[in-house]
Amino acid sequence: MTSLLELYVKLVGLVLLGFFLGRKLPATVPTRLGHFLFWVGVPLSIVAFLYQTDLSGQIWIAPAIAYLAIFLGALLAWMGIKWQALFTKNYLQQPTQGSFLLAAMVGNTGYLGYPVTLAIVGTQYFAWALFYDLLGTTLGAYGLGVALAARFSGSVHDIKHITKAIIINPALWSFGFGLILRQVAIPTPVEFYLDKFAWTTVALSLLLIGMRLSKLNSWHSLPQVGISLGIKMLLVPLILGFTLPFFGLTGQAALVIVLQMAMPPAFATLVLAETFNLDRDLAVTAVAVGSIVLLFTLPLWLWLFSVG
């Protein structure tokens, strides 16, 4: 477990470096880095961390809580839409409603959730973050998220394409391979270099976040973004976080789940907004502002749910 100051130096330092590089390097660099991490880096790091992770306990409850967080975020966001229409006469257009819902539902539990979890809790409880992300957030984003995006865009094209993308997602395949590999004793040098590669992938993931943020130039829709981030990063973690003991989750495992619930909106929000012609400005602003807000909300979750 690392100190909060050390965590911020690593997170902010690497993201800022990525932001600077994103402004200076050709636009193809973050694209290629993203492809490398998607097809090689993240899958291999999942195998490496999964090999040394404790899978005992109620770990399969992590995806279930992820679905609860997604549905609760959607419910609160829908109530927020109705409240604005009823009391402020602010009637959001269908595409804006779609982006508003997605931003309150799906978090960046992979590229950002993994490094935060590993830095704060370590590899022992990493499987909780992994199960939450792969079997919860990923399936929720490209399952319910796609259904909502299609509903608010009025189109159903590309659903088969996105379904195919889920099936061939290398992270899900590496998750299964990692579970199998745990039954095999791999040579110590191989394990050593696999571990180093995994931590290098974590650093590259943070650089990529900075690079992508450097390309986000829209800061519109701040009032709507503020509401959606309040739901995604405060209300949902608070409500569900204090119910975790009823699921038998306490200590570090509960902290990991809370941290995953409290992550800012995922880049998948932007992907779906672009694919289904939703409100791209709202999605872009939510991703950018949420990444900054995380720096201020992390101490709250550590104060409320750390076990010392």
What is the mean pLDDT for each group of 10 consecutive residues in the chain (308 residues)?
A: 75 92 91 88 88 82 96 96 85 92 95 90 89 90 82 66 69 86 89 92 89 77 92 97 93 95 91 84 90 93 82
- Among residues 137, 202, 178, the alpha carbon closest in space to that of 50 is found at 178
The structural domains of the chain, ordered by start, are: 4-305 (1.20.1530.20)
Encode burial over 49-80: b for 16+ CB neighbours within 10 A, e otherwise: bbbbbeeeeebebbbebbbbbbebbbebbeeb
Using alpha carbons only, what angle is made at residue 141 by residues 139 and 143, rounded to the nearest 5 degrees?
60
Which pLDDT score is estimated for 149? Answer: 84
- b/e burial code for range 282-301 (CB count within 10 A of at least 16 → b): bbbbbbbbbbebbeebbeeb
pLDDT at 116: 92
Residue 253 has φ and ψ, to the nearest 5°, of -60, -45
- Rounded to 10 deg, the angle between the 280-305 and 4-24 helix axes is 160
Q: Which pLDDT does position 88 carry in this prediction? A: 78
pLDDT score for 22: 92
Nearest to 137 by CA among 63, 49, 198: 63
**How many Cα atoms sit within 13 Å of 6 on the Cβ side?**
7
